[in-house]
């Protein structure tokens, strides 16, 4: 297995020196620090995987924590989690390509499922009594489902609330419009103690780009991007065996990633028709949300070729990324972080609706020479084949991008605990 893994010495680890003796003494005399992580999880796997990586990092850090993930994706049993990390799955929501919410599985109206989810979240928080509540990306939750919980926590005054934002939300005009309509800045100023930006302000200064109010910006802290190589430290035996069972023998592998797969059919099908260079094999990872008929069609294509395979799901896809020579992918936050973390030559096909977040991120990274972009309107098999034939040399990624987010997050939590203890 060591052949598939990077040198672990390069992966930033949470040092015991991060945790002050004051907090170590405090938690030894009281219950563990309780941290709740919420992600609304309505499209793709990005929010859940980001929170999972943070939970894994905290669970393995010197901080003594119990971490509860509140998520809309029921795959917690399939992913490795350390002791002290558990997951509560909400009734699932989905967001269609036009950005509209609806129940994913239950025959409930939008109002019914939001009411159900909201009450489950509130009851969970009341019972779990977290010291820190970290909300992913949506200040008030999906369709404001967090409002009762945030109001409750404010009235209690015992829980520090953190909003975690990805590096880029959308184009500035859309963010200003949507955030004004959602009263998001008012929510941040009223309910949240800090806003963590999981990005590098030298790549995209979120506070500056969106012209947020000074009271909002005062709560901002930039963590840096999250180094996805850390996922390899949390592998379990099932994950390793699933990867080994693929029996990858080719030294040249190109990987096609489409996130959860909900809107990745066009890229996957185009890749399936592209001509691969000699001695290069291709793998398409469809994701669990790709329509069944599309997955079957891709299998039919692959059956006619001896250099193409189709996989529906792999618990830890970073094992494949680590092995690949090149990656062609959509441009979601986690996927992009994975490509940067592993220093892969990559071609990004960014999603351009309902948000342009992926396009903006890809353009910023392309300007640094770290990735290549293929606009969706230019997606044809020949474009992929031409890119695969190019000789591409990447500059050292870490000279351009801050990837130390997973080192800083435990530090930030340590500071919060110290501050809370001093205040009490």
Same domain, 392 and 409: no
Distance between CA atoms of 342 and 323, rounded to whole angstroms?
Answer: 10
Same domain, 342 and 419: no
pLDDT for the residue numbered 12: 45
125's enclosing H/E stretch is helix 110-128
Looking at the domain assignment, is residue 231 inside a domain?
no
Same domain, 134 and 201: yes
Average pLDDT over residues 231-247: 90
Q: Give residue 181's domain range.
A: 2-225+403-423
Find the range with the poorest average confidence among 8-22, 195-209, 336-350, 356-370: 8-22
Same domain, 194 and 51: yes
Q: How far is CA 282 from CA 41, 93, 194, 273, in A?
A: 29, 33, 43, 11
Helices (H) and strands (E) in the chain, counts: 16, 15
Structure confidence by residue, pLDDT tens digits, 11-52: 444 443 444 444 444 444 568 999 999 998 766 677 888 999
pLDDT for the residue numbered 74: 67
Same domain, 259 and 277: yes
Same domain, 177 and 252: no
Average pLDDT over residues 169-195: 97
Same domain, 419 and 329: no
- What percent of the chain lies above the pLDDT cut of 70? 90
Looking at the domain assignment, is residue 230 inside a domain?
no
Structure confidence by residue, pLDDT tens digits, 304-330: 999 999 999 888 899 999 999 999 999
Distance between CA atoms of 207 and 197, rounded to whole angstroms?
Answer: 9
Q: How far is CA 157 from CA 37, 149, 151, in A?
A: 18, 12, 10
Higher-confidence position of 361 and 1: 361
Distance between CA atoms of 99 and 12, rounded to whole angstroms?
Answer: 36
Same domain, 273 and 408: no
Q: Is the pLDDT of residue 75 over 90?
A: no
Same domain, 393 and 261: yes
Structure confidence by residue, pLDDT tens digits, 99-155: 788 898 899 999 999 999 999 999 999 999 999 999 999 999 999 999 999 999 999
Q: Is the pLDDT of residue 256 over 60?
A: yes
Distance between CA atoms of 225 and 196, rounded to whole angstroms?
Answer: 11
Looking at the domain assignment, is residue 394 inside a domain?
yes
Average pLDDT over residues 360-372: 97
Find the range with the poorest average confidence among 34-48, 196-210, 243-257: 34-48
Residues 6+ apart with CB under 8 A from 115: none
β-partners of residue 221 are 196
Give Cα 324 to chain centroid, integer Å.
Answer: 20
Same domain, 307 and 206: no
Same domain, 151 and 219: yes
pLDDT for the residue numbered 18: 41
Q: Is the pLDDT of residue 298 over 90?
A: yes
How many structural domains does the chain have? Answer: 2
End-to-end CA distance of the chain: 48
Structure confidence by residue, pLDDT tens digits, 142-165: 999 999 999 999 999 999 999 999
pLDDT for the residue numbered 353: 87
Same domain, 155 and 251: no
- What percent of the chain lies above the pLDDT cut of 90? 75
Q: How far is CA 349 from CA 188, 296, 338, in A?
A: 33, 22, 15
- Beginning with the edge strand found earlier in the chain, give each strand of the sheet holding 85-89 in spatial order: 85-89, 65-71, 33-38, 132-136, 160-166, 194-198, 220-222
- Closest Cα partner for 320 from 306, 295, 339, 301? 339
Q: Phi and psi at residue 236, in whole multiples of 5°? A: -110, 175
Mean pLDDT of the chain: 89
Q: Is the pLDDT of residue 54 over 60?
A: yes
pLDDT for the residue numbered 7: 41
Q: Model-level pTM? A: 0.89
In contact, 399 and 369? CB cutoff 8 Å: no
Looking at the domain assignment, is residue 81 inside a domain?
yes
pLDDT for the residue numbered 27: 46
Looking at the domain assignment, is residue 321 inside a domain?
yes
CA dihedral 71, 76, 82, 84 (to 10 degrees): 50
CATH of the domain at 291: 3.40.50.2000
Q: Is the pLDDT of residue 1 over 60?
A: no
pLDDT for the residue numbered 147: 98
Q: How far is CA 56 from CA 35, 84, 86, 242, 278, in A?
A: 12, 9, 10, 20, 40
């Amino acid at each position: 297995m060591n052949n598939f893994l990077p040198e672990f010495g390069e992966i930033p680890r949470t040092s015991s020196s991060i945790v002050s003796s004051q907090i170590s003494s405090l938690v030894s005399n009281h219950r563990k620090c309780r941290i709740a992580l919420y992600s609304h999880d309505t499209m793709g796997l990005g929010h859940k995987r980001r929170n999972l990586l943070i939970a894994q990092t905290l669970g393995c850090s010197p901080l003594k924590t119990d971490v509860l993930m509140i998520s809309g994706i029921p795959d917690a049993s399939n992913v490795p989690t350390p002791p002290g990390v558990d997951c509560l799955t909400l009734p699932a929501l989905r967001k269609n390509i036009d950005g509209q919410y609806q129940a994913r599985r239950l025959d409930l109206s939008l109002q019914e499922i939001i009411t159900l989810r909201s009450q489950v979240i509130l009851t969970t928080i009341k019972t779990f009594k977290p010291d820190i509540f970290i909300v992913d990306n949506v200040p008030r939750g999906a369709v404001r489902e967090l409002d009762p919980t945030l109001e409750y926590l404010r009235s209690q005054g015992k829980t520090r609330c953190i909003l975690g934002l990805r590096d880029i939300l959308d184009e500035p005009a859309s963010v200003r419009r949507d955030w004004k309509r959602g009263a998001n800045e008012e929510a941040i100023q009223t309910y949240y103690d800090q806003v963590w930006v999981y990005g590098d302000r030298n790549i995209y200064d979120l506070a500056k780009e969106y012209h947020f109010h000074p009271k909002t910006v005062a709560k901002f802290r930039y963590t840096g991007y999250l180094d996805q190589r850390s996922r390899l430290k949390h592998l379990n035996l099932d994950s390793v065996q699933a990867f080994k069972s693929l029996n990858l023998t080719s030294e040249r592998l190109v990987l096609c990633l489409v996130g959860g797969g909900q809107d990745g059919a066009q890229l996957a099908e185009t890749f399936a028709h592209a001509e691969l260079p000699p001695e290069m094999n291709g793998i398409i990872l469809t994701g669990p949300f790709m329509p069944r008929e599309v997955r079957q069609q891709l299998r039919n294509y692959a059956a006619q070729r001896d250099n193409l395979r189709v996989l529906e799901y792999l618990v830890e896809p970073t094992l494949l990324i680590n092995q690949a020579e090149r990656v062609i992918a959509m441009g979601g936050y986690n996927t992009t972080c994975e490509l940067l973390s592993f220093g892969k030559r990559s071609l990004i096909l960014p999603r351009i609706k309902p948000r342009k977040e992926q396009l903006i991120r890809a353009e910023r990274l392309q300007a640094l020479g770290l990735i290549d972009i293929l606009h969706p309107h230019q997606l044809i098999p020949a474009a992929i084949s031409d890119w695969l034939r190019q000789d591409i040399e990447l500059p050292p990624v870490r000279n351009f991008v801050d990837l130390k987010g997973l080192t800083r997050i435990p530090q930030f939590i340590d500071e919060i605990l110290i501050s809370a203890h001093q205040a009490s």
